[in-house]
Amino acid sequence: MANLKEVKNRINSVVSTQQITKAMKMVAAAKLKRAQDRITMMRPYSQKLSAILQNVSGSEDSSMENPYGEHRPVQRVLIVLVTSDKGLCGAFNSFVVRKARSLMEGKYADLVTAGNLEFLPVGKKGLEYIKRNKLPYNGEFVNLFNPLSFEDSSRAARYIMEAFKKGTYDKVEIIYNEFVNAATQVVNVEQFLPIEKSEEVDKNQASSANDYIYEPSKTYIEEELIPTSLKTQFFKALLDSNASEHGARMTAMDKATENAGELLKDLRLTYNRTRQAAITTEILEITAGAEALAAK
């Protein structure tokens, strides 16, 4: 049985850890509120903008030059791996990495064998995983989440868009955690480029696709609106991931605090038993000594 000093030291250590995890939970909860508000406000705008962009891309108007909607034979693929810069957020990063591994071993197995699949890590944890497993990657974007801004996100989006436009990649997919609530995050694989054509456009809409009125001009839409909308879609994915990270960290720290409490109960019980055993041993020794003296 452990001595009292060892048990007491463990109790003090667990109490200190519990205080840290409780504080981290409170910090994550505060950050989650702000991140949740941002993604809640951004999501409807992003979804509507994406639908409009898909409808325009799916139209029969051949005069619209959209290099980001060009569908080519898929020979080279870029996977954007969105993870966190920090740990202590449960299985948040593991789920993203697992999905990437699943794509490598399944959907893109032939491209991996041919060396035509590359990664673009957004977040330190993804970069660490890629380097640790010696996976091919092109560029890296870390510290985008501290703080997360549209300007910093646009740098990464612009880098990806230029690579696709030059023909470096024929397809770009983003793997990230989509925020549902504080306790639930869903790993999402989203095609970023080329722009997918809307499958919800019925025949009547398709036949009237040429009736779109472009304001201020088609050139402006090609050069400004489409790139801006793509940057917005990318920013939305990062906002989703950011909110998911804080939710996952809050949940993980809450569970860690509860586990520390359960461990403290066991340690204090062990401490009391050890203390009682020590007292009993001392009483027995005193009694035995008294009996020995009385026998003399």
By annotation, the residues acting in catalysis are 89
User: Do the beta carbons of residue 237 and residue 122 sit within 8 Å?
Assistant: no
Q: How many residues does the chain have?
A: 296
Three-state secondary structure call for residue 184: strand
- In sequence order, what DSSP letters do the residues of 236-276 get, joined into one string? HHHHHHHHHHHHHHHHHHHHHHHHHHHHHHHHHHHHHHHHH
Which structure tokens are listed for 227? 């790139």
Q: How far apart are CA 131 and CA 134, in angstroms?
A: 5
138 closest CA partner among 166, 168, 167, 113:
168
- In sequence order, what DSSP letters do the residues of 70-87 get, joined into one string? -------EEEEEE--SS-
Which structure tokens are listed for 60? 């029969």
CA end-to-end span of the chain, whole Å?
35
Long-range CB pairs of 11-14, under 8 A, 24+ apart, other chains included? 11/264, 11/267, 11/268, 11/271, 14/260, 14/263, 14/264, 14/267
158 closest CA partner among 177, 179, 172, 137:
172
User: Do the beta carbons of residue 109 and residue 149 sit within 8 Å?
Assistant: no
Three-state secondary structure call for residue 64: coil
